[in-house]
Structures are given as structure tokens and as C-alpha cells.
Amino acid sequence: MTTAKEALRVVGQAVIDKKSYLTDLDQAIGDGDHGINMARGFESVFKKIAVLDDNIDLTTLLKTVGMGLISSVGGAAGPLYGTAFLRASGVCAGKTEIDAVTAKAMLDAAIKGIQDRGKAKKGEKTMLDALIPASEAMDIAIKAGKTEVECLADAVQAAQKGVEYTKTIIATKGRASYLAERSIGHQDPGATSSTVMLEALYNYLE
């Protein structure tokens, strides 16, 4: 049986498995610790959710994840991802099942949280360059009457294109912004880790 807790474990494990890859990406343009920090964060989160009931409501689960990431992930990623999970948790309050419309609303709430916390927008070589296209693709898919899994598939594809797009633009946020034009040619680690999460969720549900 599919549970939110199991899905979260799959998503977190995907990030942990990509620790070295994400760290290598960050060493090229950032502090060089994105993969290490994110892996440590989800390892901490796993300990926190292990004591929760397997059928815990999604709101409580996501709040636990958000607070866990904020308290354990170093750098900017902890507050940004933590806020994203916390904002998403508010959208699904009282929901026992998540349809495509609710999933998009959760993603949009996460995006708004990242924007509020990081003062960033699309086109600045951040995780938003993957997440915003993913939301836009979901919107189109929902209006086309696609299933939840099909909507997520389109979101993943858009996020992947967003990651490729970050290679073509100059970083204007965080440590990467110090490199200016030299950041071109490198993909953003945050956009990549965001996409890894979406891919893992899709593969799990599919």
C-alpha cells in the first residue's frame, strides 16, 4: 500500500544516493557542500519520521520534514527546502488523498515559500528554474484532463529542461553569483536536487 511516509523515504533516499553528484555540481559554482548537506538533512529527517505512525497525516509528516531540514541542513538549502515543505503542509491539511489539483497547489505553496525566503525569481539560476516550469507544466496537464501520474510526468520533464536551462544563464544569487559569467555552463545544484525529488516521486507513484 502506498503511504506518504514511504513516498517521503523514497524521495529522501534519492537525494542521499545523489550526494556525491550534487556535491560535485556545487563544488564547481558554490560552497561545495550541497549534496553533503542535503544527505545529512534527510538522514536526520528519516530518524524523526521513523517514530511516526505509518499512516500519519500528510500535514504532520511534511511539517516534520520541513522542521527537520531547517534544523539539520547547512547553508541556504535548509531554510529554503524546509520552508517549502512547511508551506506545502498547510495546503493539504485535512486531505486524505492528494489529487493533481492539490498536488499543484502544494507545489505552488512550496515555490512561494522559496521565493519569500530566498527573495529569488525565475531566471536567476536557482531551484526555482526547475520548480516553476514544473508547476506550469502541471497546470497545462491538469487542464488537458491528464491523470495525476501523467501530470507529474510532465512536471518532471519540465523540471529537467529547467535544469538544462540553468547551464545557459548567469547566477545572481548565493555563492555562485560571485562567479558572474563564469557560472555559465554549470547547472544549478538546487535545481538539480529539486528535480531529483520530483523524479523519485514520479518513479515511486508510476
**Which triple of cell numbers denotes residue 195?**
528535480
Where are the domains positioned within the chain? 4-205
Task: Give residue 178's pLDDT.
Answer: 53
Residue 55, class by beta-carbon neighbours within 10 Å (0-12 exposed, 13-18 middle, 19+ buried)?
exposed
Task: Give residue 174's pLDDT.
Answer: 66
Separation between Cα atoms, residue 44 and residue 205, nearest integer Å? 24
Identity (one letter) of the amino acid at 46?
F
Query: What is the residue-averaged pLDDT of the chain?
Result: 92
CATH topology of domain 4-205: 1.25.40
Task: Give residue 56's pLDDT.
Answer: 87
**What predicted TM-score, i.e. pTM, was given to this entire model?**
0.93
> Which SS3 state, helix, strand or coil, does residue 19 take?
helix
40, 8, 84, 108: CA torsion to nearest 10: 150
Separation between Cα atoms, residue 79 and residue 68, nearest integer Å? 10
pLDDT above 60: residue 16: yes
Average pLDDT for 154-162 = 98
Find the largest Cα–Cα distance for the chain: 49
Q: pLDDT tens across 121-143, in order?
A: 998 899 999 999 999 999 999 99
Task: Give residue 1's pLDDT.
Answer: 44
Q: pLDDT tens across 51-66, in order?
A: 998 888 999 999 999 9
